[in-house]
Chain A
Amino acid sequence: MNTTAPRNTRGRSPALAPASLPAKILKAIVLVVACLLVVMPFVSVISTSLADQQQITETGGYVLLPDRPSLSAYSAILAGGVVARALLVSVGIAVVGTSLGLAVTSAMAYSLSRPSSFAHKPILMLVLLTMLFTPGIIPNYLLIKQLGLLNSWWSLILPVLVTGFSVIVLRSFMIGLPRDILESARIDGANDLQIFVRIILPLSKAALAVIGLFFAVGFWNSWFNALLYLNDPSKLPLPLVLRTYVVDNARLGAEQLSAESGVLPPAESLQMAILVISLVPILLVYPFLQRHFTKGVLVGAVKG
Chain B
Amino acid sequence: MSAPLSRRTLLKLAGGTAVAATAGPSLSACSSSPTASRQQQNSGVELPAYVAYQGVKPDLAPTKEGVMSGFLRYPASPVAGVPDRPGTGAEELTAFIQQFRPIPPPASRNEYWRNVNDKLGVTLNLQMVPSANYADKLPTVLSGDLPDFTMIVNTPNLPQLLDAKCQNLTEFLAGDAVKDYPMLANLRPEAWRTTVFNGGIYGIPIPRERIGVIWFTRVDLVRSLGFDPAPTTYQEFKELAKGVTNPKENRWAFHGPAGVRDLILRMMGAPVGWQEEAGKFTSVHELEQTKQAISDTRELVKAGYFHPDTFTDGAPFKDWIGAGRVVMVSDNYSAWPQYVMQYLKPNSPVQLDGMLPPKYDAGAKPNLARGVPSFSTTVVKKTGDKERIKLMLRVANYLAAPFGTQEYLVNRYGKEGVDYTMVNGDPILTSKGEVEHTAEFYRIADAPWPLYEPGHPEETKKEHAYQVKAVPMTVANPADTLYSETYSRKRNTLNTLLDDALSEVLQGRKDVASWDDTIQRWRKQGGDQVRKEYEEAFAGSH
Given contacts A228-B136, A253-B334, A258-B434, contact A244 B19 (CB under 8 A): no
List, in ascending order, chain B residues with CB within 8 A of A248's CB.
100, 131-132
Closest A residue, CB atoms, query B439 = A233
B101:A253 contact, CB within 8 angstroms:
no
Complex interface residues of chain B between 431 and 454 (CB less than 8 A to chain A): 431-437, 449, 452-454
**How far does the alpha carbon of A150 sit from the alpha carbon of B141 in the complex, in Å?**
11
Closest B residue, CB atoms, query A251 = B100
> B465 in the interface, Cβ–Cβ < 8 Å?
no
A138:B128 contact, CB within 8 angstroms:
no
> A158 in the interface, Cβ–Cβ < 8 Å?
no
Mark interface residues in B454-471 (1 if CB within 8 Å of A CB, else 0).
110000000000000000
Q: Tell me if A's interface is mostly helix, strand, loop or mixed.
A: helix
**Can you sample 26 A-B contacts with CB below 8 Å?**
A54-B323, A61-B316, A79-B431, A80-B104, A82-B105, A136-B19, A137-B17, A138-B10, A145-B143, A145-B144, A231-B127, A232-B106, A233-B104, A240-B103, A244-B101, A247-B130, A249-B101, A250-B335, A250-B338, A251-B100, A252-B338, A253-B334, A256-B101, A257-B434, A259-B423, A259-B426
List, in ascending order, chain B residues with CB within 8 A of A142's CB.
7, 143
Closest B residue, CB atoms, query A258 = B429
> A234 in the interface, Cβ–Cβ < 8 Å?
yes
**How far does the alpha carbon of A251 sit from the alpha carbon of B331 in the complex, in Å?**
11
- The size bracket of the interface on A is 35 or more
> A261 in the interface, Cβ–Cβ < 8 Å?
yes
List, in ascending order, chain B residues with CB within 8 A of A290's CB.
none
**How far does the alpha carbon of A137 sit from the alpha carbon of B10 in the complex, in Å?**
12
**How far does the alpha carbon of A234 sit from the alpha carbon of B106 in the complex, in Å?**
6
List, in ascending order, chain A residues with CB within 8 A of B318's CB.
250
> B342 in the interface, Cβ–Cβ < 8 Å?
yes
Report the tally of A-B residue pairs with Cβ distances under 8 A: 152
Given contacts A57-B323, A138-B17, contact A256 B437 (CB under 8 A): yes
> A141 in the interface, Cβ–Cβ < 8 Å?
yes
Which of B108, B338, B436 interacts with A80 by CB under 8 Å?
B436
A258:B431 contact, CB within 8 angstroms:
yes
B104:A82 contact, CB within 8 angstroms:
yes
B19:A138 contact, CB within 8 angstroms:
yes
- Besides the known contacts A56-B319, A57-B319, A57-B325, 14 further A-B residue pairs in the complex with CB atoms under 8 A apart: A80-B104, A137-B136, A137-B139, A137-B140, A138-B17, A142-B143, A233-B126, A236-B103, A240-B103, A243-B133, A258-B428, A258-B433, A259-B454, A261-B429
A254:B340 contact, CB within 8 angstroms:
yes
Closest A residue, CB atoms, query B133 = A227
A259:B455 contact, CB within 8 angstroms:
yes
B337:A260 contact, CB within 8 angstroms:
no
> A50 in the interface, Cβ–Cβ < 8 Å?
no
**How far does the alpha carbon of A258 sit from the alpha carbon of B319 in the complex, in Å?**
19
Measured CB to CB, the closest approach of chain B to A140, in angstroms, equals 9
**How far does the alpha carbon of A224 sit from the alpha carbon of B453 in the complex, in Å?**
38
**How far does the alpha carbon of A245 sit from the alpha carbon of B426 in the complex, in Å?**
27
Closest A residue, CB atoms, query B345 = A262
Given contacts A57-B323, A254-B337, A255-B454, contact A244 B431 (CB under 8 A): no
Closest B residue, CB atoms, query A81 = B105
Which 7 A-B residue pairings sit nearest by Cβ, starting from the closest?
A254-B337, A80-B435, A234-B106, A258-B429, A231-B127, A57-B323, A57-B319
> A109 in the interface, Cβ–Cβ < 8 Å?
no
- Tell which of A61, A86, A256, A260 has the most Cβ of chain B within 10 Å: A256
> B320 in the interface, Cβ–Cβ < 8 Å?
yes
Measured CB to CB, the closest approach of chain A to B371, in angstroms, equals 13
Measured CB to CB, the closest approach of chain A to B285, in angstroms, equals 25
Closest B residue, CB atoms, query A140 = B140
List, in ascending order, chain B residues with CB within 8 A of A81's CB.
105, 109
**How far does the alpha carbon of A145 sit from the alpha carbon of B4 in the complex, in Å?**
12
**How far does the alpha carbon of A224 sit from the alpha carbon of B102 in the complex, in Å?**
17
Which of B7, B19, B102 interacts with A137 by CB under 8 Å?
B19
Given contacts A136-B18, A227-B129, A253-B338, contact A234 B140 (CB under 8 A): no
**How far does the alpha carbon of A150 sit from the alpha carbon of B102 in the complex, in Å?**
23
Measured CB to CB, the closest approach of chain A to B342, in angstroms, equals 5
> B430 in the interface, Cβ–Cβ < 8 Å?
yes
- Tell which of A79, A136, A249, A260 has the most Cβ of chain B within 10 Å: A260
**How far does the alpha carbon of A142 sit from the alpha carbon of B144 in the complex, in Å?**
9
> B322 in the interface, Cβ–Cβ < 8 Å?
yes
Which of A141, A245, A254, A267 interacts with B102 by CB under 8 Å?
A245
Given contacts A53-B319, A259-B341, contact A254 B130 (CB under 8 A): no
**How far does the alpha carbon of A252 sit from the alpha carbon of B322 in the complex, in Å?**
16
**How far does the alpha carbon of A255 sit from the alpha carbon of B404 in the complex, in Å?**
13
Which of B101, B139, B413, B423 interacts with A138 by CB under 8 Å?
B139
List, in ascending order, chain B residues with CB within 8 A of A247's CB.
99-100, 130-132
B338:A254 contact, CB within 8 angstroms:
yes
**How far does the alpha carbon of A80 sit from the alpha carbon of B102 in the complex, in Å?**
11
List, in ascending order, chain B residues with CB within 8 A of A233's CB.
103-104, 106, 126, 128
**How far does the alpha carbon of A263 sit from the alpha carbon of B432 in the complex, in Å?**
15
**How far does the alpha carbon of A287 sit from the alpha carbon of B100 in the complex, in Å?**
37
